[in-house]
Chains A and B, each alone.
Chain A
């Protein structure tokens, strides 16, 4: 009940913020632009619309998650609204969980709007609703959950600008860390290989959530991979949330 109240409040606060609509507007422009790009391409026009559309959803979703995720928790501390909130009968973890759920719900609505624009554009072109796209979008949503948790974690102890930079770094590292896998295959056994192995294990691999290519090219995705990716997302998000709660539990609000 208390978590729901905080989540509700976070959602109201976030959804009335203009920056979200600015991002939504640019996302819509980008998705629309995929149609223009497809005209310039030789070959499969649909493929370009799907590719650029899904990439836009993923990128702008991540930007929204980072911007509102780092902003909202920090704002509570900076503007001191947290003083009155924590002095009410609520546990700190309830506050953090409420914030997280409120943000996730906001992102869900934004993702829904972007998906509707994307699917509508695709429908105008192919005259069919491509439900398969939803698989890719579902995993984008899981990725956004993780990024939001990371953004909240960083904003528990640093300023919004630093948290944004850290979160963007997390996003970039997450999408590039699969390179280590290729590197591992080419390395000879030794200390170097062990170090790279450790790095690869510790760093997030956000490519686990990337099913854009498979969906666009109608490739079959083994259910084992889907299950693995889902669990990876859920457990990683829970891990980061628990870490945030531990940091938040003993923090002094000066």
Chain B
């Protein structure tokens, strides 16, 4: 697999305060993003996610380290020609209409005039803003700005798309739509690098992840390698059985309407519970084996640090 983005030993610090004091933000970030994958970059607030992305885009200059985008130096125009970027909480020119705005960005890529018109129509329908193409951006809602932001990131048909918290601040429906677009991008052979702290979303769509805490990557790899498949416990909701009969089998929590929520930690005991319920002519409402989630892994790692 070719490498879409490679970061080696990236350091960045900022001077803060009246009497300038150096504050280290990134302390040796190294990671590799392969072509054609969705790469999740996660970390708590203030870990350095956005700083990393800004370094990659040449918005800020690292103190030390190397960045290569699709085999080009990251500051070269060749690299920038092939990337798309959606910032966190995007905000664009107030007084431009949606299609004027996209036209402006298309011109920066020196696209053909005829091509630009078609591209804009396609992108606006992709993000569902066809009806609003002649509305000034200052009248756009938060969700609409996110969508038009997405459209501008794709204007040059980029090979690598960098998304900074693309799902933040959207309603559940909007989040699903954006998730679908991201997956479709990967299916079309594009590489997606997305930062987020919403773990469910990352878990749902990412192929590989890197976890960053306090400016350092503490773990990276395929999602299934990081999270063990081992069943942590089984959650069973049952009814028609006395609480005292099953107390020895697991942690017993009484629920509403005579239903009991039972947490069984030993896999072998699950069968015993099922048998017992059958004997008592009770009823099983649900049975969910819980494996480790990204959240468990994440919380574990962050607290360890």
Contacts and interface: CB of A to CB of B under 8 A. Distances in A.
Interface in B53-89: 54, 57-61, 77, 80-81, 83, 85-87, 89
Interface residues of B, number: 33
Contacts of A254: 14, 60
Contact of A16 (B14, B83, B95, B152): B95
Contacts of B85: 83-84, 87
Contacts of A83: 54, 57, 59, 85, 87
Interface string A1-43: 1101110110011001100000000000000000000000000
B58 A88 contact: no
B100 interface: yes
A81 B93 contact: yes
B90 interface: yes
Contact of A86 (B58, B89, B93, B107): B58
Contacts of B91: 79-81
Contact of A252 (B60, B94, B105, B152): B60
B80 A253 contact: no
A250 B60 CA distance: 8
A4 B108 CA distance: 9
Contacts of B57: 83, 86-87
A31 B15 CA distance: 50
Contacts of A85: 108
Contact of A9 (B14, B93, B152): B93
A83 B100 CA distance: 18
A89 B108 contact: yes
Nearest to B84: A87
For A4, A83, A86, A254, the residue with the greatest tally of chain B CB atoms inside 10 Å of its CB is A83
B87 A80 contact: yes
Contact of B110 (A1, A91, A250): A1
B96 interface: yes
Given A84-B90, A87-B85, A90-B108, A253 B95 contact: no
B87 A84 contact: yes
A9 B96 CA distance: 8
B108 A88 contact: yes
A245 to B, nearest CB: 16
B160 to A, nearest CB: 11
Given A2-B110, A81-B91, A87-B80, A13 B96 contact: yes
B156 to A, nearest CB: 8
Nearest to B62: A252
A39 to B, nearest CB: 41
Contact of B60 (A5, A9, A253): A253
Nearest to B59: A253
A5 B107 contact: yes
Contacts of B156: 88
Contacts of A8: 104, 107
Nearest to B25: A254
B256 to A, nearest CB: 48
Contacts of B86: 84
Contacts of A4: 107
A87 B59 contact: yes
Contact of A5 (B61, B87, B95, B108): B108
Contact of A89 (B59, B60, B81, B96): B81
B105 A84 contact: yes
A82 B93 CA distance: 10
A80 B53 CA distance: 14
For A88, A250, A252, the residue with the greatest tally of chain B CB atoms inside 10 Å of its CB is A88
A223 to B, nearest CB: 41
A83 B149 CA distance: 12
Task: List the 10 closest pairs (A to B, CB-CB), nearest first.
Answer: A5-B107, A16-B95, A252-B60, A89-B80, A87-B57, A89-B77, A87-B85, A88-B108, A253-B59, A83-B87
Interface of A: 1-2, 4-6, 8-9, 12-13, 16-17, 79-91, 250, 252-254
16 contacts: A2-B107, A2-B110, A9-B104, A13-B95, A16-B95, A17-B95, A81-B92, A83-B54, A83-B87, A84-B87, A86-B57, A88-B105, A88-B156, A89-B77, A90-B80, A252-B61
Interface of B: 14, 54, 57-61, 77, 80-81, 83, 85-87, 89-96, 100, 104-105, 107-110, 149, 152-153, 156
